[in-house]
Amino acid sequence: MNEIILMTISGKDRPGVTAAMTAILANFSVNILDIGQAVIHNTLSLGILIQVPTEAGASNLLRDLLFRAHELDMHVRFEPVNPEDYEQWVTGQGKSRHIITLLGRRISALHISRVADIAARHGLNIDNINRLSGRVSLQESQAESVRTKACVEFSVRGIPPDASALRQAFLQAASDYDVDIAFQQDDIYRRNRRLVVFDMDSTLIEAEVIDELAKEAGVGEQVAEITEAAMRGELDFNASFRKRVALLKGLDVAVLDTVAARLKLTEGAETLVSQLKQLGFKTAILSGGFSYFAKGLQQRLGFDYVYANDLDIIDGKVTGEVTGEIVNGERKAQLLREIAEREGLKLEQTIAVGDGANDLPMLSIAGLGIAFRAKPLVRESAKQAISTLGLDGILYLIGFRDRDGIIS
């Protein structure tokens, strides 16, 4: 009867180790049932699950492997595997898989421990752990002025008995330790997203444009109070929007240029959008703000679609009205559907990013809905949330690594 043996090899990494050891396996007509390799700080760990034909002679094979490992200054150990245990393991490979993504400025042992503990307590088994972020020098990591990025991805197997409780545990851990934790189904759609739609105010840009315009009109405090209440979901968006715009009546159109000139892009916005375009993604702005500013971002960053509200202007003055249909939460969701259909995409292939309550409808129907630096209500309601990193942290959620040359 064929023997099943788990062989693990470790030691200083160098070219040729895997080739040398598998060449011996080939000489004995060994079948490879599973193989995995990792290198951490120039130290190799290679595991190979092998099936040794009876006629090959396991003792001769193990002897040759030991001699070759000694010549390579590597450690090797062998562990027999019961065929029944192997079959049970094979059956488990068909279980549902998920990806846990841990993001932060820095990741410590405490963060890893908390994520691993939550996963275990909810019946999930960790199969793989990978670092997606690049290495950071010690000097850079200790400098308070440097905005470092860290990301570790866990591939886990199993179905949590209470998905809601698992999500709450991750949310609590993220809040406790100032990190972000995303939990996603690992399926074909995660690797085939093709459309990303963004809110504008407090998402792509750091400010709420209507608040900036209100300051220029001398009604800043009044508008800011209404804006905050609307973003918290305490006021109907359409009514609050018209109420705020009415306060801008008489504002000179030249002020729009003044405000546009001082708007700052959110950290990582330019990197994210440029990289998405290089990867062939379609991008869109779906904003409850004003098209004047959204179209400026389109020219600057190259968005494929822009939908926002048009300020009514007569004789160079803002009338306090908007023209056309207001882009509220329901309209954003409708536009997401329409753009996806136009591009021939399923909703599962879309990503939506926003920070306010009026973004929740589109966040809820997108394949990946991300609350970005959002209000508590939105963060708790959205599928995923990013609060610690910039917008380019979204690239980690779709599986890209720094070493891919995508995230800079």
**What residues are labeled active site?**
199, 201
Residues with Cβ within 8 Å of 124's Cβ and at least 6 positions away in sequence, in order, are 98, 156, 157, 158, 160
Exposure class string for 113-142: b at 16+ Cβ within 10 A, else e? ebbbebbeebebeeeebeebbeebeeeeee
Structure tokens at 64: 């040759």
What number of other Cβ atoms are within 10 A of residue 298's Cβ? 18
Residues with Cβ within 8 Å of 137's Cβ and at least 6 positions away in sequence, in order, are none
For residue 388, which of 376, 406, 374 has the smallest C-alpha distance? 374
| Strand-strand pairing, 31-40 and 75-80 | unpaired
Q: How far apart are CA 309 and CA 392, in angstroms?
A: 26
Cα-Cα-Cα-Cα dihedral sign, residues 130, 133, 135, 140: negative
Q: How far apart are CA 307 and CA 309, in angstroms?
A: 7
CA angle 29, 30, 33 (to 5 degrees): 145
Amino acid in the structure at residue 407: I
Structure tokens at 157: 């197997």
The strand ranges marked E within 19-169 are: 31-40, 43-52, 75-80, 97-104, 125-131, 150-157
Q: Count of H helices and E strands in the chain?
A: 16, 15
Exposure class string for 160-173: b at 16+ Cβ within 10 A, else e? beeeeebbebbbeb
User: Are 135 and 151 spatial neighbours (Cβ–Cβ below 8 Å)?
Assistant: no
- Using CA atoms, how far residue 239 sits from 295, 307, 354, 371, in Å, is 24, 19, 20, 24
